[in-house]
Amino acid sequence: MEAWRRGDVETWRRGDEEASSRAAPRRILCEMNATNATDATSTSARWNIEATYASLPDALWAAAVPARFPEPKLVVANVALASELGTPLANLSSDDIARFATGAWLPPGAQPIAQAYAGHQYGHGTMLGDGRAILIGEQRTPAGARIDLHLKGAGQTPFSRRGDGRAALGPMLREYIVSEAMHALGIPTTRSLAVATTGEMIPRDGLKPGAVLVRTAASHLRVGTFEFAAALGDSAVLAQLADYTIARHDIDLIGEPDRVQRFLGRVVERQARLIARWQAVGFVHGVMNTDNMTISGETIDYGPCAFIDAYDPESVFSSIDRFGRYRYSQQPAIAQWNLARLAESLLPLLIAHEGEESRAVDRANEMLALFPTAFEEAWLSGFRSKLGLVSKESGDGALARDLLAWMHASNADFTNTFAMLAGLARGMSDRCDVSKCDAAAQSKFVEWHARWRDRLARDIDGGEAAPSRLRAANPAIIPRNHRVEEALAAAEAGDLAPFELLVRAVQRSFDPQPSDARYREPAPAEFAGYRTFCGT
Ligand code: AMP
Ligand code: MG
């Protein structure tokens, strides 16, 4: 994430000069899938862009101009998403999509800006802002939603500090794969509309192809956006930001006298539900800084994230997370810590409403206290589904936790253990068939299995439809770390086939094909201790 900070300005400048002299050494691109493109070609699709963020006080954003790149080339376009958004992407040529993706051509209504935000990174406050991403506006979709279009890696902005404003192809494709996987898993997330290379080679551990990702989001409002506004010390600006945000995400609160307090409660509950969803698929975000936590409740910023293979609650993948601040087991606590920063930022508005600081603090604390209950409820409901259960019994949490404890002790694969349950519920066996299940682990599993079968028998249908419920709740395919690395290495070497196959596989996470076996295998032993690097 912060690798770009390590270089000094001169190094970056030299890198840029070298980059332009070595532009586009080869074509590494694929065309958009032609069949999909034809299917999605639509006459009703149109750009329907508004740029409302720029109507906020200009302390909260800065005008930004996309860099001029030597040779934009399309790598991938998400035709299904384009049509959901109502954009006419599928009607454009690959070259025109690439020009759109890299900011060389802006659709009507677009107004390129960089958003200001602050952020607590590993617990320390910093003033940040979009240093390499440009918001061009919001597409109004046929369904009436307002979706941000963001060009990540489109060049320097007034918030770039010492960074080059660029992004490398590998990390942008990584974001494409994982965000589309999260979407397929039913988890709220920003999405990926397109990736194009820029024709530049950029300095990242040697020279790497530069790329831009078009990211879409319900908004890019973050906890850090409010930290920034609060730091300005101008409560009129803070109030405008709060009302803008409420109008985008909690419209029923518009004009309510206690809207700020209730808005805080909504964000707390959205985040509690989101983190519970992450836990249920073994997703480790890896860099839960306050600037990477949305107000909308969508997952954002796929830098050093990874999915757990063998279950270990202390899993941490990020190479720079040395103390495991953002490890799997810690995610709920970190979310609460971040939300406390949001509450602090909103305090001036709460005080204005309550008339007294102590009462405002009480209100904020009441909202923050919603987290544990909302999280536990969402966690239990998620894991009940993962066990195929519909009715509620008080021992369900323990049943789920005991399976997790068994998985930890047996070094069992998280995804495959849950995916195996559908077969077991059909009554074919009481043995675990996940890898690394030795005799001792087998006998422990048989004990757990007997409890689970009894519990299923007490469920509303006696467990009759449990196999289909289990298949719908437990993904068979996740973007396994070794497969992601393999796809990115191939893409960087000019071969996009593994990337395309992996994207297609993760998009059918609950509906695997016989040919998907390779995406379901746990990582080879030498992959243990896998480390991720922040998406620079
Ligand atoms: P992230 O790790 O993506 O959450 O980024 C943290 C902050 O660093 C954000 O303000 C980014 O805009 C900024 N940043 C990351 N990479 C670059 C870069 N290459 N150039 C300028 N700013 C960057
Ligand atoms: Mg970020």
Q: Is residue 66 part of a domain?
A: yes
Domain span including residue 421: 391-536
Q: Are residues 305 and 335 in the same domain?
A: yes
Q: What string of pLDDT tens digits covers the 536 residues of the chain?
A: 333 222 222 222 222 333 333 333 323 333 344 334 444 456 689 999 999 999 999 999 999 999 999 999 999 999 999 999 999 999 999 999 999 999 999 999 999 999 999 999 888 988 999 999 999 999 999 999 999 999 999 999 999 999 999 999 999 999 999 999 999 999 999 999 999 999 999 999 999 999 999 999 999 999 999 999 999 999 999 999 999 999 999 999 999 999 999 999 999 999 999 999 999 999 999 999 999 999 999 999 999 999 999 999 999 988 888 889 999 999 999 999 999 999 999 999 999 999 999 999 999 999 999 999 999 999 999 999 999 999 999 999 999 999 999 999 999 999 999 999 999 988 766 777 775 678 888 899 999 999 999 999 999 999 999 999 999 999 999 999 999 999 999 999 999 999 999 999 999 999 999 999 999 999 888 887 788 876 56
pLDDT at position 41: 54
CA 350 to chain CA centroid, nearest Å: 30
Q: Are residues 171 and 208 in the same domain?
A: yes
Q: Is the CB of 301 under 6 A from ligand 1?
A: yes
Backbone angles phi, psi at 66, to 5 degrees: -55, 145
**What is the distance in A from the centroid of ligand 2 to the CA of 129?**
9
Q: Are residues 38 and 154 in the same domain?
A: yes
Q: Are residues 21 and 143 in the same domain?
A: yes
Euclidean distance between CA atoms 500 and 173, whole angstroms: 10
**What is the distance in A from the centroid of ligand 1 to the CA of 155?**
11
Q: Is the CB of 166 under 6 A from ligand 1?
A: yes
Q: Are residues 473 and 534 in the same domain?
A: yes
**What's the Cα-to-Cα distance from 316 to each of 70, 322, 383, rounded to whole Å?**
38, 9, 22
Which position among 130, 148, 243, 291 bears the catalytic label?
Answer: 291
Task: Convert 68-118 into a string of H (helix), E (strand) and C (coil).
Answer: CCCCCEEEEECHHHHHHHCCHHHHCCHHHHHHHHCCCCCCCCCCCEEECCE
Q: Is residue 383 part of a domain?
A: no
* Burial (Cβ within 10 Å: 0-12, 13-18, ≥19) of residue 108: exposed
**What is the distance in A from the centroid of ligand 2 to the CA of 357?**
32
Q: pTM of the prediction?
A: 0.92
Q: Are residues 278 and 294 in the same domain?
A: yes
Q: What's the length of the chain?
A: 536
Q: Are residues 511 and 371 in the same domain?
A: no
Interhelix angle 259-281/370-386, nearest 10 degrees: 30
**What is the distance in A from the centroid of ligand 2 to the CA of 301?**
5
pLDDT at position 536: 61
Q: Are residues 60 and 38 in the same domain?
A: yes
Q: Is the CB of 4 under 6 A from ligand 1?
A: yes
**What's the Cα-to-Cα distance from 44 to each of 40, 83, 86, 97, rounded to whole Å?**
11, 10, 8, 18
Intra-chain end-to-end CA distance of the chain, in Å: 5
**What's the Cα-to-Cα distance from 248 to each of 9, 52, 196, 264, 463, rounded to whole Å?**
38, 10, 29, 14, 42
**What's the Cα-to-Cα distance from 284 to each of 182, 207, 306, rounded to whole Å?**
12, 29, 5
pLDDT at position 171: 97
Instruction: Please name the residue ranges forming H helices in 310-395.
Output: 331-354, 357-368, 370-386
Domain boundary among 173, 204, 220: 220
Backbone angles phi, psi at 46, to 5 degrees: -155, 155
Q: How many domains does the chain have?
A: 3
Q: Are residues 309 and 439 in the same domain?
A: no
Query: Is 511 a catalytic site residue?
Result: no
Q: Is residue 45 part of a domain?
A: yes
Q: Is residue 384 part of a domain?
A: no
Nearest in space to 24 (alpha carbons), one of 149, 263, 198: 198
Q: Are residues 264 and 205 in the same domain?
A: no
Domain boundary among 220, 255, 289: 220
Q: Are residues 230 and 213 in the same domain?
A: no
Q: Is residue 385 part of a domain?
A: no
Euclidean distance between CA atoms 162 and 9, whole angstroms: 6
Q: Are residues 466 and 346 in the same domain?
A: no
Q: Is the CB of 467 under 6 A from ligand 1?
A: no
Euclidean distance between CA atoms 252 and 241, whole angstroms: 17
Q: Is residue 212 part of a domain?
A: yes
Which atom from ligand 1 is nearest to the alpha carbon of 292? 4
Domain boundary among 174, 205, 220: 220
pLDDT at position 8: 24
Q: Is residue 24 part of a domain?
A: yes
Euclidean distance between CA atoms 81 and 438, whole angstroms: 44
Q: Is residue 386 part of a domain?
A: no
Which residue has the CA at smallest separation from atom 11 of ligand 1? 131
Euclidean distance between CA atoms 244 and 225, whole angstroms: 12
